Structures are given as C-alpha cells and as structure tokens.
Amino acid sequence: MQSTPIEQLSDELYRALKDNQPIAPLSERHPQLTLQQAYELQLNVLARRQRENGERVIGKKIGVTSQVVMEQLKVDQPDFGHLTSAMLRADGAAIAVADLIAPKAEGEIAFLLKEDLRGPGLTVADVLRATECVMPCIEIVDSRIRDWQIRIQDTVADNASSALFVLGDAAVDPRELELGLVGMTLELNGEIASTGAGAAALGHPANAVAWLANTLGGFGMALEAGEVILSGALSAMVPVKAGDNLRISLGGIGSASVRFT
Amino acid sequence: MALDRQTIEELALHLDGAEQQARAVAKITDAFPDMDWQDAYAIQDAIRELKQARGVRIAGLKMGLTSHAKMRQMGVVEPIHGFVTDYGAVADGGEIDTRGLIHPKVEAEIAFVTRRALRGPGCHVGTVLAATELVLPAVEVIDSRYENFRFDLKSVIADNTSSARYVLGGRPHSARGLDLKNLGVVMERNGRIVATASAAAVLGHPAQSVAMLANMLGARGREIPAGTLILTGGVTEAVAVEAGDNVNVRFQHLGSVSMRFV
C-alpha cells in the first residue's frame, strides 16, 4: 500500500492558502488518506501559520453539522477546524474577495467560553454552564481544493474549509434563549437568501459544542476559556462575490454584516 | 374575463367534487388555456359559494406563494390567496385521515387573528401589527387537487390554493414585542428534523403577507374583516406526508403544533 506523503501535502496546502491557488483534491490523488491523517495535515498547516505568520489560535469551528451535508460527504459526524487571529474580521468589515478563492458565507451562532471544556462525557448542560455568551456570526468559508471538489478528508485537511469569520453586534446569555429555536435570516443584497433555525446545527447548537469538546477530549485536548466556538451553519451557504452585501440576523440574539469588495 | 359564467360554475363543481372525493384531476388550464387571473379567482369564489350553500363556514383566509424566490421562479410579483374552512380545522395533537386527501403536504406557518378590519391599498407591516389581536403557530396541510402536484398559478388559485386542513396550536402571543421576522421554526417528521427556517421566509416578514392580502383584496373592493384568521404562508418548504407519520413543529416563543396522519 502506498504511504501518504504528509510533509509534501502539508506544504501544498499551506502554499495554496498563502498564494490563493487551489490544488487538486488530495483524496483523489491519495485515496488511502485517512481522516486521522487529514487532521494531522490540518495541524501541520496550523503550526506553520503560527510559526511563520505569528497567527494565534482563538477558537474552533464545527463543520458538517447538518444532515444534508453529512449525507453529501457520506459521514455520520461533524468535523472541526481551528480559528486563528488572522481569520477574525470586524462587524461591517469590507472583505476583499481577491484574497479568497471561491468564498461562500453562512450564518451561525458563536459561543464564547468562560471555562475550559474537557471531554469526554460532556453534555449540553456543561456547555451552557461554561458559556459566557452567544453571538451572531457570519462565517466565510473557502476551499483550497479546486472547485470545492471535497471529500471529508479534503475539507478536514483544509482546516474544515474555513477562511474568515465575523462576530456581530450583540452578546447574549444563553440562559435567556431556546437556542434550538433561534431563527436565522440571511439577506444578500437586501433579499432573503436563506433562513434557518438553531436546530439545524446537530439538533441544538450546544450539542455541536459538546460533540467537539468530547471529540477533542479523546485526543487529550480541551476547549479553553476565552475561545470562540462556531457551532455550525444554520442554513445552506451562499456564494459571494465583489459588490455583495450580506447580513444575518438571529432571533433574540442580534445581527452581523459584511460587504465584499 | 375569458370564461363565461356557466363554465366558471362548472369548473367550480368539478374542483369542489375532486376535493370531496379526494380524486386528482388534470389541471384546468389544459382544457382552458385562455383563462385569466380574474377567471381563476371567480372559480375560487364559486367554490366558496358552493361550500357555503352546503352549510360550510369560512373560517379564515390563507396566503400562498409567499417566498420571493418562488415568486420569481413563477414570474409573478404578487402572492396568491384562498380561504380555509371550518371542516379543515384539526385540533392540536389530532389525527388527520389521509383517505380524505390526495397527496398531502405540511408546511409550518404563522397565523394572525385581526382585531380590526384591514382595507387596502396602502396597508403595511405597521398597520397590520396595529390591527392584530394575536399571532399563533400553525401547520397547514395542503393538498392540490391536481395530478402529481403539476399545476400553474391560475389552476392553483381556482383550486383554492390547495387548501385542505390546518392545525392551530401552541401558545398565542401578542404581535408586539415579538421579533416575527427572525422567529425560528423547526419541523420534525417522525422525530427527525426535516426543515428549519425563520419566519422571514414569508415575504421578509409574516405581517407583510397580511398587508399584501389586504392590498390585493382592496384592489377588488374587499377587506379583511375584524376577527379574521389568516394563514400567512409557508415558513418551511412543503413536506410530503403519509399515513403513519407524526409531525411536530416547534416555534420560537410560540410553543409547538403536532398532528398524526392515519
């Protein structure tokens, strides 16, 4: 059996990210690539971003949280990626699409943690107890894999297809909300592009965070106090281009917006 | 109008009969390709009169085609409207007999009950909220009388916008102090989530649906009377159901609505 050239693929992914040049699907060229190796690639690229660009890890994102996307990628659980200081943009920011490859946007609920969450064995109750506040969040995803031709190994290696994220105008105590029923409206250039509700993220956004804490716990890792956790898309993602204005609003939480230039 | 009175009455009998016998028929524009929008609403009105003559009470109004995306797809700028009946009402948690239906689908909706009459033109979200007694969560069971749900808008209007059954439930709420636009809705069939949405899916805001209804009726010299129940249009996609299905819909702030299909 052919072995996977981890170092070479890490380097390819890092360059694709740096140069905005997509690469052919890893899973196509290396069908033996395992999910564990894909996470290894993700961590390699992350280490290089920290080392060479001084990026700091400020949180995590959970992806593949909807039934539809799980079926598309033929998996039965979500995946995760890392959020770094270089990925954060301010509410209302202008984002240059020239710095991205094939960006898409989605609306989510972000959790800001006030206590560490160390799995396994954590429940929704632990997540709510450890949460300082929840915030509206626009995640801008992008794929360093050509034309989004991704299998689960490709997106995991590519940091769960993450690119940028924007936290919105409000921070709300999750005890005030029925998070599964929080409605989300995504408007693109003033028109409703998609809507969803909290339950789209693994049945309940806090359930997605518990999944992540328990999964990381299996590797001896924890979610840390102060980290931002993006709990998963609440509706289908929408492609964006220069000139687009995008706004999301979340019932009982608040809103966030970005424009693309 | 392209159709004469006799044809309109015959088509009303044809469609009302199809509903009563739970029998699918060909869409009526196949036989009458020239019929216009006025004809379509005239047939719906004639169906309403047939039902009322049988002692059926009209229980409220309903809006259809309330998604901007679908309107653009169909090439129209206005939604469509119809009515709901007393016999269409099903209690929350109740049973719905699929033998009385052709190919039912469910969609989650926000229902309004008016406190004052609304007369267009010129109604807007503000006038509607001021004239609203309460809002409550609803599930509408639609059932086109047309074969394989194949239809065009005029045929649907004539068919009373696929109106069949509806379930009101949950917790009524004042329309004020509620973020109706971003109100979340989660639909489950047999315990599995099949749709999530926010009420903005209905014309950007469900009160906008009521305003457009008042304005469309106003253009025909009619109004929405005080005390009218209005189903404002699907928040979620319409989901097909069959005997044995349990449907439960949860609404942010408004509780839940459920029903069983037998």
Confidence of residue B253 (pLDDT cuts 50, 70, 90): very high
pLDDT > 70: what percent of chain B?
A: 100
**Cβ within 8 Å, pair A185-B68:** no
The rounded distance, in Å, linking the Cα atoms of B134 and A36 is 54
- How far from B193 is each of A110, B43, B93, B125, CA to CA, in Å? 22, 38, 18, 31
pLDDT tens track for B171-190: 999 998 899 999 999 999 99
**Cβ within 8 Å, pair A184-B182:** yes
Q: List the single residue in A with minimal CA-CA distance to B203.
A: A192
Asked, for residue A159, whether it belongs to a domain, the answer is: yes
Nearest Cα to A49, choosing from A79, A94, A87, A80? A87
What CATH number is attached to the domain comprising A65? Answer: 3.90.850.10
**Cβ within 8 Å, pair B193-A251:** no
B68, B192, B200 ranked by CB distance to A185: nearest: B200
pLDDT at B120: 94
| DSSP-derived secondary structure for chain B | --S-HHHHHHHHHHHHHHHHTT--B--GGGT-TT--HHHHHHHHHHHHHHHHHTTPPEEEEEEE---HHHHHHHT-SS-EEEEEESTTEE-TT-EE-GGG-SS-EEEEEEEEEESS-B--SS--HHHHHHTEEEEEEEEEEE--SBGGG---HHHHHHTGGGEEEEEE-S--B-STT---TTBEEEEEETTEEEEEEEGGGTTTSHHHHHHHHHHHHHHTT--B-TT-EEE---SSPPEE--TT-EEEEEETTTEEEEEEE-
Asked, for residue B30, whether it belongs to a domain, the answer is: no
Q: Does A180 touch chain B (CB under 8 A)?
A: yes
**Cβ within 8 Å, pair B197-A181:** no
pLDDT tens track for A75-99: 999 999 999 999 999 999 999 999 9
Asked, for residue B246, whether it belongs to a domain, the answer is: yes
pLDDT at A153: 96
Calculate the CA B255 to chain-centre distance: 21
Q: At B148, give phi and psi (nearest 5°).
A: 55, 25
pLDDT tens track for A3-46: 789 999 999 999 999 999 999 999 999 999 999 999 999 999 99
For range B231-255, the mean pLDDT:
97
Asked, for residue A1, whether it belongs to a domain, the answer is: no
Q: How many domains does chain A have?
A: 1
Best residue of B182, B194, B248, B253 to probe chain A, by most A CBs closer than 10 Å: B182
Nearest Cα to B238, choosing from B139, B168, B130? B139
Confidence of residue B170 (pLDDT cuts 50, 70, 90): confident
Asked, for residue A126, whether it belongs to a domain, the answer is: yes
pLDDT at A57: 97
What CATH number is attached to the domain comprising B84? Answer: 3.90.850.10
**Segment 170-209 of chain B within 8 Å of chain A by CB:** 179, 181-186, 192-193, 196-201, 204
For range A183-208, the mean pLDDT:
96
The pLDDT mean for chain B works out to 96
**Cβ within 8 Å, pair A234-B201:** no
Q: Does A195 touch chain B (CB under 8 A)?
A: yes
pLDDT tens track for B40-80: 999 999 999 999 999 999 999 999 999 988 888 888 889 99
B179, B197, B250 ranked by CB distance to A195: nearest: B197
Q: How many domains does chain B have?
A: 1
pLDDT at A4: 81
Q: Does B108 touch chain A (CB under 8 A)?
A: no
For range B218-233, the mean pLDDT:
97
Helices (H), A108-232: 124-129, 152-157, 205-217
The rounded distance, in Å, linking the Cα atoms of A41 and A83 is 15
For residues A160 and A61, the answer to whether their CB atoms sit within 8 Å is yes
Residue A1 in this model has a pLDDT that exceeds 60: no
pLDDT at A2: 62
The rounded distance, in Å, linking the Cα atoms of B228 and B117 is 8
Is the preceding omega at residue A25 within 30 degrees of 0, hence cis? Answer: no
Instruction: Provide, as residue numbers in chain A, all residues whose Cβ is less than 8 Å from the Cβ of B69.
Output: 192
pLDDT tens track for A38-59: 999 999 999 999 999 999 999 9
CA of B190 to nearest chain A CA: how many angstroms apart? 14
Looking up tokens 């469900």 gives B206
Asked, for residue B239, whether it belongs to a domain, the answer is: yes
Q: Determine the structural domain holding residue A249 and report its residue range.
A: 6-260
For residues B160 and B82, the answer to whether their CB atoms sit within 8 Å is yes
Nearest Cα to B139, choosing from B55, B38, B26, B254? B254
pLDDT at B69: 82
Is the preceding omega at residue B121 within 30 degrees of 0, hence cis? Answer: yes
Residue B15 in this model has a pLDDT that exceeds 80: yes
A–B interface: beta-carbon pairs under 8 A = 84
For range B137-158, the mean pLDDT:
94
Q: Determine the structural domain holding residue B254 and report its residue range.
A: 58-261
The rounded distance, in Å, linking the Cα atoms of B262 and B259 is 10
pLDDT tens track for B91-124: 999 999 999 999 999 999 999 999 999 999 999 9
Q: Does A254 touch chain B (CB under 8 A)?
A: no
Residues 6 or more apart whose Cβ sits within 8 Å of residue A37: A4, A6, A153, A157
- How far from B244 is each of B24, B29, B95, B247, CA to CA, in Å? 22, 34, 10, 10
Please give the DSSP secondary-structure letter assigned to residue A235: S
Q: List the structure tokens of A253.
A: 């939480």
Residue A250 in this model has a pLDDT that exceeds 60: yes
Q: Does B255 touch chain A (CB under 8 A)?
A: no
**Cβ within 8 Å, pair B200-A235:** no
